[in-house]
Copies of this chain bind each other. A is one copy, B any other.
Amino acid sequence: MVTVYGMSSSGNCYKVRLLLEQLRSPYHWIEVDTRSGETRSREFLARNANGRVPVLEFEPGQYLAESDAILFYLAEGTAFWPAGRRARAEVLQWLFFEQYSHEPYIAVARYICVMLPAGHERRQELPRLHERGAQALAVMEAHLRQRSCFVDEAYSIADIALYAYTHAAGEGGFDLAPYASIRAWIERVQSQPGFVPMPSVAAP
């Protein structure tokens, strides 16, 4: 059985939980609070030198970091990872889009709004985060206008990766009302077998 080191309220960690639940794959979850400095401890850095959650312990003492690489590891050989070469590359295209053009704006805005004290100086970053995050949402909205899922009409880890922070974008001050195709896709993700919601944020 694999072990996940994760913070439940983190979207990046939730991706891994959601896939494991949908795979009906048993797992052990060890809660790590990134806000208390746990990810900077010598013990944690031995698991991931980059000091981030989630980390997957896939064999005793063997670790894998980066949420979307973990999704790939768990999904290979299952219906959540496509059989065709082009489709596989397209799933990865969306995973890299998520980590480069989406998460640094939509997840960071949520972090500032719900995990930092009200009036924190980082709130001055919000206008830029909202502008860039809206660009990512516009790309997703256009893509989903004629599609049910991100790649080839088949639910995959691309949908899981993008769902994590998109469905919670409102917590970062984004209004999803103008994005009808995204909202319909969010409902489709939530109706998938084995779906579990993202745990809410614990008070700091």
A interface, how many residues as a size bin?
20 to 34
State in angstroms the CA–CA spacing of A148 and B104 once bound together.
31
What's the number of copies of this chain in the assembled complex? 2
The residues of B that contact A100 with a CB separation of less than 8 Å are: 66, 99-100, 103-104
Q: Residue A122 at the B interface, CB < 8 A? A: no
Which residues of B are found within 8 Å of A64, using beta-carbon distances?
Answer: 86, 89-90, 93
Q: Is the interface of A mostly helix, strand, loop or mixed?
A: helix
Q: Which residue of chain B has the shortest Cβ distance to A50 in the bound complex? A: B139
Give Cα A103–Cα B85 distance, bound, in whole angstroms. 26
Minimal Cβ-Cβ distance residue in B for A74: B89
Interface residue? A62 (CB, 8 A): yes
Residues of B within 8 A of A52 (CB): 101
**In the complex, which residues of chain B have a beta carbon less than 8 angstroms from the beta carbon of A50?**
97, 101, 139
Task: Verify B85–A69 contact, CB threshold 8 A.
Answer: no
A180 CB within 8 Å of chain B = no
Residues of B within 8 A of A69 (CB): 89-90, 92-93, 95-96
Contact of A92 among B72, B90, B101, B139 (CB under 8 A): B72
**Which residues of chain A (52-100) have a CB below 8 Å from chain B?**
52, 58, 62, 64-70, 72-73, 76, 85-86, 88-90, 92-93, 95-97, 99-100
**Which of B49, B65, B67, B96 meets A99, CB within 8 Å?**
B96
Bound Cα distance A49, B93 (Å): 12
Chain A residues close to B by CB (< 8 Å): 49-50, 52, 58, 62, 64-70, 72-73, 76, 85-86, 88-90, 92-93, 95-97, 99-101, 103-104, 139, 142-143
B76 touches A92 (CB 8 A): no
Inter-subunit contact A92/B104 (CB<8 Å): no
Q: Which residues of B contact A68 (CB under 8 A)?
A: 92, 96
Given A50-B139, A96-B69, A85-B76 contact (CB < 8 Å): yes
Indicate if the CB atoms of A88 and B65 lie closer than 8 Å.
no
